[in-house]
Amino acid sequence: MLTTQQLIDIEVGTIATLQGGRITKYNDSQLCWLAGKHNTIGLYNGKRWVPVVPNTAPVVTLPAVTISGATLTSGVVYDVYAQYQSDTSFTFAFQEWASQTARYNDPTVPAGRFQGIAVYNPNTTSGQQLRYLGSVMLDGITGTPKFMDTYTQRFVVNYYNTKTMPVQTYNSSTTYYQYNTANQAWIEYGTGVPAILAAQVRGEFISIHKNMDIAGAITVQHGAILQYFGVGIGLNNLNPLLSYYWADEQDYSDNFPCVTSCYGTPRSGYNWITTVVSLKNDQSTNAPNTVMTVATPGDFGSGYLLVTV
Amino acid sequence: MLTNYQLSEIELAAIRTQQGGRIATYNATSSGTSTELRWQPYVHGNIALWNGKTWTIITPDYIPAYNTSLDTTGQALAADTNYDVYVKYQTSTSGSLELVKWAGDNSRGYSGPNRTDGGVFVYDNSATGKTMRYVGAVRVIQVLSTKYFIDGRYQRFVVNWDHLITSAVNASNSGGSTWVINTSGSSPIEVAVGNIRGEFLCLDNMCYLGGTKLGNLNTENVANWRWAGTFINTVLATSGPKHGWSQDGASSGNRGHEPGTIGTAYTRLGLNYLSIGGGNTVSMTFDPGTSPEIRTAGSLLIYT
């Protein structure tokens, strides 16, 4: 016969820790929870943990509101919670971050663990009923807010049942890319460069684990005249020593592809990557060029990372 | 009504499989060193332990080491040594981390960890050994006179058995001096100069993905093919475990070229190295770069 403690262990252990699904972008205006490893999620109903098996996939449709009633907005990061409704249904609840890289600044929302499970507020019954599922950011570029999960915008990230997905940055321009500098300073595409910048696409993602690392590669092809430069993947345009590696190339006449590798530690929340270049002037025998022209738009400056979402 | 056997099945399966946390350094420095290792909740806060009679669940905020400087036999932790990490049952609400010394860099030298009849890895199936649940491994380092755990770019020495996450390990030339590869044959060699090795622990034979690049080849009078890439565990041949290769043919003149590679690698149990090397028919020199750049470097994505 099971003891009372064993029954509690089973209730808390096997029911509370159940979470077999993932939050997933269904379309631009809908976010849903889909069964993954299994179709059960443990939710606290105010008295005990209950194994909830949704009859239909829970969906939220934009426009939607946060816990405090604010409308979900582009460019804002939100935590996503599952809120118990019945043994066969739950709804989504959203809590906006204080900024794109910092969670709540509301001291009444401690966001902690209740019986080991990450919840909205472990100190209130209503907060215990909101189980953390992951985070999203709505499209921060233009127009109507929408959920995004593409190669260049990984804006749906799960806390449970994560998987590895690629994120990409590339030059989408139809014209050559020209880079002007006489120094060794790092410059990100799209910052202070007077050509084809509007079409530059950024690879972006959000991370909820500060200790998650990234590693990736970048390919580059350059053209005709004597050049000497470095390329890399920039992470949040921060310290180059952490975010960039060099792939130097000096060549007289050939188009020459080169590959480099890089690593970086994302910050919590919104991150972005770009390809970066810099001319160099530390070669005594070669004066730096002031203009670098890149051949074959679209082939130049592709960068790829693997992220966990 | 459930039978006793069915109840027993529930008790075993439902409780013993609970392990929601990870081991990690606590209060680590920017370089990743720490004098404290902790088990902390990750996907959830439960961990099931054998209390001597049955499997039970504890849900602590964290689990500290029983003694931060001693292994299970009471010996002081040794530098450059691997240890398996177990969570041992203490009370109905607490456990402790216990470190068991490996015999070598790539060999445990003892029979554990062992699976219980329920499939969970524990130290062994003795009365005490079953109370110790396996959660991962660490390698201790020493800086001056202090022992440290470390989880940093160049030394990934905290690795979990459950809930693995991706981490980057790096090898680079931080010495600021040129690297010279001297070999009279065509076989490549590891460059053994400067702070180039990245090291990491591995508990399984995994395939990893990563890339490398090498600084400007400034030995300019060589008109030969040369090879360079990132090595795993100094395996130098062109077959077997290695990270990746590229080759470059240069003509005469004062010109440099940097080969870059991307590839995969298989690892071994325990300590692994990530390093950089190359090969040529004559010596060749790699330019280390000028601050803030690091030209010769490699990175690898691993699971810890």
pLDDT of A262 reads: 61
pTM: 0.82
| Partner-chain contact A17 B43, CB within 8 Å | yes
Q: Would you kindly state where each structural domain of chain B is located, as residue ranges? A: 4-162, 169-303
- pLDDT tens digits, A22-57: 999 999 999 999 998 899 999 999 999 999 999 999
- Taking an 8 Å cut-off on Cβ atoms, the answer to whether A215 and B254 are in contact is no
Residue A225 · residue A218 · CB < 8 Å: no
Rounded to whole angstroms, the Cα distance separating B38 from B141 reads: 17
pLDDT above 90 for B229: no
Residue A5 has φ and ψ, to the nearest 5°, of -65, -40
CATH of B169-303, one of 1.10.730, 3.30.450, 2.60.120, 3.30.565: 2.60.120
Which one of A246, A282, A305 makes the best mutation probe of the B interface by having the most chain B beta carbons within 10 Å? A246
pLDDT at B254: 33
Strands B260-266 and B284-286: unpaired
Q: Tell me whether residues B10 and A117 touch, CB distance under 8 A.
A: no
Q: Is A214's Cβ below 8 Å from some Cβ in B?
A: yes
Q: What does the pLDDT look like over B190-228, one tens digit per residue? A: 654 455 678 888 887 665 666 666 555 554 434 444 555
Contacts of B4 in chain A (CB under 8 A): 1
Distance from CA of A166 to the nearest CA of B (A): 13
pLDDT tens track for B104-116: 999 999 998 998 8
pLDDT at B279: 58
- Residue A254 above 80 pLDDT? no
Q: CA distances (Å), A248 to each of A75, B236, B256, in order?
A: 36, 25, 8
Mark B156-169 as b/e (b = at least 16 C-beta within 10 Å): bbbbbbbebbbbbb
Structure tokens of B172? 């680079």
Which chain A residues have a beta carbon less than 8 Å from that of B15?
Answer: 6, 9-10, 13-14
Q: What is the CA radius of gyration of chain A?
A: 24
pLDDT tens string B67-79:
778 888 899 999 9
By Cβ distance, the residue of B18, B165, B210 closest to A215 is: B210
pLDDT digits (tens, 9 = 90+) for A75-121: 888 999 999 999 999 999 999 988 888 887 666 666 788 999 999 99
Q: Are strands B94-101 and A291-294 parallel, antiparallel or unpaired?
A: unpaired
ipTM over 0.85: no
Q: Does A18 touch chain B (CB under 8 A)?
A: no
CA distances, A299 to each of A169, B8, B238 (Å): 11, 61, 30
B176 compared with A194, residue with greater pLDDT:
B176
Q: 């001597």: which residue's tokens?
A: B52
